[in-house]
Structure 1
Amino acid sequence: METALIEYGNFLVAGVTINASEDSDFAGVWKELFDRLSEEQKAATAKLQKVGVLMPDAADEGFTYTAGFIVQGIPAVSALGLTGVIVPAAMYATVLVEGPAAESIKPGFDYLHSTFIPHKGISPTGVNLEVYGPGDVTAENYRMYCWSAVDGVESPV
């Protein structure tokens, strides 16, 4: 599997956020996101990076899931009428996955958390990203990345 450690700065996501569990309907969150957008907004967001963001909730008892787009600034969030989520800067363990997104995401994160991250001697922080590529997310040759924020990696000087 194609893996890497990538340092990435903080960024803002405009999207739809739910309190989630492993049994949540994540595809339903994406449907709700696109149902909320006007045709003009859909056209405006077509070239934005789509991401799914899983973060520990404020009480650290569960997690939230946000389906959305990386945007530049609060005005972009307001213009879309969506929730803004700031994703903190971090070092991320990443893996490229191929196949329909619904079938590839869980195995990608399982590989990161059971193999790649432990092998590197680092620890996940609980922030995970689904970084979507272009194309049909249901295609057999669809490619996207799973990212998991990690601690215990020294930044290169």
Structure 2
Amino acid sequence: METALIEYGTFLVAGKTIQATPQSDFAQVWQDLFTQLSPEQVQACEKLQAVGVMMPDADDTGFTYTAGFMVKGIAEVSALGLTGVVVPAAMYATVLVQGAVPDCIKPGFEYLHSEFIPAKGAEPTGVNLEVYGPGNRESEDYRMYLWSAVSGLEVQPHRA
């Protein structure tokens, strides 16, 4: 699998956020997001990077999931009528996965958390990202990246 360590700065996501569990229907969150947007907003969002963001709750008892788009500022969040989520700067372990969504996501995160991250001497922080590429998400040839924030690295990262 194609993997990398990438240092990435703080960024803002405009999207729809839910309290989630591993059994949550994340595809439904994306459907709800697009239902909430006007056709003009959907067209504007096509130019933005689509991301799914999983972040631990403040008390570390669960997590939230946000289906959304990377934006430059709070004005864009407001214009879209969505929730703004600040994703903190971090070192991320990344893997390129291929296949239909959501089938390719769970095995990709399992690989990151059970093999790649431990091999680097790091620990996951609980912040995970689905970074969507262009194309048909239902295609077996679809490619996207999964990112998992890490701490405790013993190696020098590649800077993005």
Q: Matched residue pairs, number?
A: 157
Residues 58-97 of structure 1 aligned to structure 2 (within 5 Å)? 58-97=58-97
Task: Indicate the residue corresponding to 2:10 in structure 1.
Answer: 10
Q: Residue 152 of structure 1 aligns with which residue?
A: 152
CA distance in 1, matches of 2:10, 2:82: 19
Aligned AA (2:137): V
Structure 1 residue ranges without an equivalent (≥5): none
1:16 and 1:61 map into 2 onto residues whose CA distance is 20
Q: Deviations over 1:71-125 (max 9, x none)?
A: 0100000000000000000000000000002100000000000000011110000
Secondary structure at the counterpart of residue 105 of structure 2: helix
Give the drift of 1:58. 2.0
User: Which residue is 1:39 aligned to?
Assistant: 39
Q: Percent identity?
A: 71
Deviates more, 1:146-155 or 1:119-128: 146-155
Paired with 1:92 and 1:103, the residues of 2 have a C-alpha distance of: 22
Quote the RMSD (CA, aligned, Å): 1.2
Query: Which structure 2 residue ranges, 5 or more long, are not aligned?
Result: none
Displacement over 4 Å in runs of 4+: none
State the alpha-carbon separation in 1 of the partners of residues 101 and 115 from structure 2: 20
Shift of 1:33: 0.4
